[in-house]
Structure 1
Amino acid sequence: MQLSQFGMDTITLAGDLGAKLEASRAAGFTQLMLWAKDMVNFPGGVEAAAKLVRASGIRVTGIQVMRDYEGLEGTLHDYKVDMAKSMLQICHAVGAPLLMVCSSTSKHASADTGKIADDLAKLANLAVPLKVRVGFEALSWGRNISECRQAWEVVALADHANLGVVVDSYHMLANRSPFDTIDEIPWNKIAMVQLSDFMWREIRSSEERLETARHLRVFPGEGEHSRELADLVRRLHFGGYRGDYSFEVFNDDYLQMPPAMVAQRARNSARWVADQVLRRGRAHAKVKDEVAAH
């Protein structure tokens, strides 16, 4: 596992796009996950923002986030497809290889897995000419898809080469989802891994799940689920995943800190995560050596 696989998410950092790029680069990161609002709110708009990103030398890993897309009908479906096309154009403008799509929370969304799979395949088709991949993530409060296993089931049903699953540690921890789900997903169908933790062992209500998700996450190695996170990353690594990891940490306290200070915390977290895999690798090699010696 290489530190170059890790990057931040701009939602974690205070300041404008330029400050976020600089803090990330100064901390030693070579990649960054952007939110569409970072681009459209930048003075000069998306074109100027894309120019700044290219000049920074930072690699963009994806654009956040398409919400409440799948399972809709009629005018509402057409509207969301139109919004998705706009998001794909933003991805293309900045050279982002991935559009993040999170599972719908809309009361208007169908629970029909065939319909959900068809909608995701449609979006994946739209993304092909722009050389953008679509990553589907299960929100732990999603109306019809709330578990990583369910996200994988509809992605598998869609059976589209340009569509993959986004694994998010927060939602798996919040739902107490079994990590053996990860073993079921082919490594090349994992589009992105998002990592974060939180400061208590249990989520005790739906309100607390939302409050924690949107305001109180922390970096891996700082929270109460270090053992579980280490297990998750090891499963991914030894299962063959060699893609990107993004620290998606919504934290109101971090937004009151200088971006450089927060970025350094993220860098320390990246070293912690990489060390968890390295330790497992050394232990595995030691066992093999001992078996061979006998």
Structure 2
Amino acid sequence: MHRAIATVSLSGTLRQKLEAIAAAGFDGIELFEADFVNFRGTAAELRRIAFDLGLSIDLYQPFRDFEAMPEPQFQRSLERAERKFDLMEAMGAPLVLCCSNTSPLSVNDPARAAAQLHELAERAARRNLRVGFEALAWGRHTSRYAQAWDIVQRADHPHLGLILDSFHTLSLKDDPSGIAAIPGEKIFFVQMADAPLLSMDVLQWARHHRSFPGQGDFDVTGFFEQVLRAGYTGPLSLEIFNDIFRETPNRRTAVDAMRSLLYLESETRERLAAGNVPAQPQRVELFNPPPAPALSGLSFIEFAADEASAVTLGALLGQLGFRRVGRHRSKAVTLYRQGGIHFIVNAQPDSFARRRFEAHGTSVCALGVRCADPLAAVGRATAMRSQRHDSPVGPNELRVPAIVAPGGNLIHFVPEALGDSGLYETDFILEDAGPEGSDAGLTRIDHVALGLALDQLDTWVLFTRAVLGLEPGESLELADPFGLIRSRGVANADRSLRLVLNVSLSQRTRTARTLSVTGGGAVHHIALDCDDIFETVARLRANGTRFVPISDNYYDDLATRIDLAPELLARMRAAGVLFDRSPAGDYLHIYTESFEGGLFFEVAQRVGGYDAYGALNAPARMASQAQQ
């Protein structure tokens, strides 16, 4: 498939945008008019720059307020079009986007609109150019693709066709199934954009909150499926207006953009293969990566620490009931275990973890994920534009495939066939673990919460979806005493692997301050499961673990919101345990105090089918931390 992106989707000067787009592997661009107007060069020079970078200029856009106008304005628009056609010939752009009229001067007359577009197409044809007509969701008289298609049919000109944009269709909750009945050769161009579901004016929504496919909540796969069923063979392009993308380094944005198109193609390919509706013979080759990996939870979490911090962290893990059970055969790396939880503390001076994270103090540098087919998982990740990482290994040590996640952390794909201890028996010299009495009853890793910079949230949502095969849950906003935190969980189908992605909308929150220490994105807390939270908390307190104190007012309020047995409420108040309830079950949890770098732990007990993360209690935790 020919893949393109609109220059408006990235930050930087026009030349910088083109270089980032080419580096990400795109075939072509949509040239946004303002980018060219402010370009210090001619159309011919731009054409040479694009050609040298291996990029075609597929579309010039937008041409505004043309159709269904009074005659004087129509004639002036034709003169304006001729000047744009001059530029298009010089830059080698074969197609211009004409978006539906928003002018108060326009009239609701499809016949007039068609006649005027016919004249525009006739003038374009004299230069061997084409015109694509697009329905803007906020168009004055034409806002839906069916209306635009009706006008294109009335105009009946071979150089006039339809341009489809997923945002304009899906934001209006228009049914895209009718697209399949449009002849594919009359669809001149397709633009894709996703978006979060928001209740706001559609124009503001479109100009500030679009996102790449896979980052939002629209069924972009269903939209593109209908386009392919129509027999479309043209470019697949992205047109994204997003305030955060305008500030984000354009190389990262371009990689996200390419990943989103590859993900969209692969998802649509699967849907077409599984669909029951007869399709036309597939005319384009869609991206076909290895399948999403079958993941089954976290095998280990690895911390980077210097020698002194490794000792401090080891003492803290001891208070949490973890026992040192081994040291690495060739590196300054120590293994701690409790139940099915494995923590690795890496103090090797020349390791990737130390080089990448030592400036940030003790921090999580890698996650080990159990995987049925690690090589296929890495194959999918690299196909989806993630970087493979190969760690140095000593004699007879296992090579565990790994990739670099956004922000620099590593994700290792640990072969599920090794079982719970196969990796550690091979790479570590196991030691006498000492007495069992220090065990606190922690059984497994429930979830890992990451604190991200605001411009990393969409990147991580797409990464976890496209590379790891996880699905995002509801997006929530949580109240910190100094601002709002946006939080979104992602998980696999059986919930054996859960991540929580948090960003701060303020620079004053604890999450934002932690990011200033960790360098822009890191694990900020780890949630650990237990079977009896009251017994576990009692053991942890006896071991010296300190927990975030919770106000008595929280428990007084809890009793007014949820019908709880008085004895359970009293136990929670005495232990400092927080509580949440859903129709499926209950969630009891408690947070430890933070240590170096702001990292802390959560101890949790899920009851029944509770499937969330106790987010309603996060403000109680954040307020308490702020008061300490």
Which residue number in structure 2 is paired with residue 63 of structure 1? 60
For the Cα contact (< 8 Å) 1:187–1:240, is it kept in 2?
A: yes
Which residue number in structure 2 is paired with residue 156 of structure 1? 153
**By how many angstroms is 1:167 displaced?**
0.7
Distance (whole Å) between structure 2 residues aligned to residue 230 and residue 126 of structure 1: 36
Residue 126 of structure 2 aligns to a residue whose secondary structure is: helix
Distance (whole Å) between structure 2 residues aligned to residue 35 and residue 86 of structure 1: 16
Mark the runs of 5 or more structure 1 residues left unpaired by the alignment: 288-294
Which residue number in structure 2 is paired with residue 290 of structure 1? none
| Residue from 250, 258, 264 that aligns with 1:259 | 250
Percent identity of the aligned residues? 34
Which residue number in structure 1 is paired with residue 112 of structure 2? 115
Which residue number in structure 2 is paired with residue 215 of structure 1? 208
Distance (whole Å) between structure 2 residues aligned to residue 91 and residue 271 of structure 1: 29
For the Cα contact (< 8 Å) 2:6–2:31, is it kept in 1?
A: yes
**By how many angstroms is 1:241 displaced?**
1.1
Which residue number in structure 1 is paired with residue 274 of structure 2? 283
Which residue number in structure 2 is paired with residue 235 of structure 1? 226
Residue 171 of structure 2 aligns to a residue whose secondary structure is: helix
Higher strand residue share:
2
For the Cα contact (< 8 Å) 2:96–2:132, is it kept in 1?
A: yes
**By how many angstroms is 1:37 displaced?**
2.6
Q: Deviations over 1:97-146 (max 9, x none)?
A: 11000000111112111100001001101101222110000001111111
For the Cα contact (< 8 Å) 1:30–1:58, is it kept in 2?
A: yes
1:105-254 alignment, distance < 5 Å:
105-200=102-197, 202=198, 204-205=199-200, 208-225=201-218, 228-254=219-245
Q: Deviations over 1:226-285 (max 9, x none)?
A: xx2111111211331111111000011011011100000101101111111221244359
Q: Give the stretch that moved more between structures: 69-78 or 45-54.
A: 45-54
Mark the runs of 5 or more structure 2 residues left unpaired by the alignment: 279-628
Q: Give the stretch that moved more between structures: 229-238 or 275-284.
A: 275-284
1:30 counterpart = 2:21: no
Distance (whole Å) between structure 2 residues aligned to residue 128 and residue 39 of structure 1: 23
**By how many angstroms is 1:189 displaced?**
0.4
| Residue from 6, 11, 23 that aligns with 2:8 | 11
Say which structure, 1 or 2, has more relative contact order (CA 8 Å, 6+ apart).
1
Higher helix residue share:
1
Residue 254 of structure 1 aligns to a residue whose secondary structure is: coil
For the Cα contact (< 8 Å) 1:135–1:191, is it kept in 2?
A: yes
Structure exhibiting the larger radius of gyration computed from Cα positions: 2
| Residue from 271, 287, 294 that aligns with 2:262 | 271
Count of aligned residue pairs for this structure pair? 277
Residue 15 of structure 1 aligns to a residue whose secondary structure is: coil
Provide TM-score, normalisation by structure 1: 0.90
For the Cα contact (< 8 Å) 2:180–2:228, is it kept in 1?
A: no
Which residue number in structure 1 is paired with residue 333 of structure 2? none
The code of the aligned residue for 1:268 comes to R
Runs of 4+ in 1 over 6 A off after TM superposition: none
Alpha-carbon spacing, 1:51–1:39, altered in 2? closer, same or farther (3 Å): farther
For the Cα contact (< 8 Å) 2:8–2:35, is it kept in 1?
A: no
Distance (whole Å) between structure 1 residues aligned to residue 202 and residue 37 of structure 2: 29
Distance (whole Å) between structure 2 residues aligned to residue 160 and residue 43 of structure 1: 36
Distance (whole Å) between structure 1 residues aligned to residue 109 and residue 274 of structure 2: 45
For the Cα contact (< 8 Å) 2:11–2:246, is it kept in 1?
A: yes
Which residue number in structure 1 is paired with residue 620 of structure 2? none
| Residue from 28, 47, 52 that aligns with 1:50 | 47
For the Cα contact (< 8 Å) 2:98–2:134, is it kept in 1?
A: yes
Q: Deviations over 1:59-82 (max 9, x none)?
A: 111000100011112322221111
Distance (whole Å) between structure 2 residues aligned to residue 284 and residue 140 of structure 1: 29
**By how many angstroms is 1:86 displaced?**
1.4
For the Cα contact (< 8 Å) 2:4–2:26, is it kept in 1?
A: yes
**By how many angstroms is 1:49 displaced?**
2.2
The code of the aligned residue for 2:222 comes to D
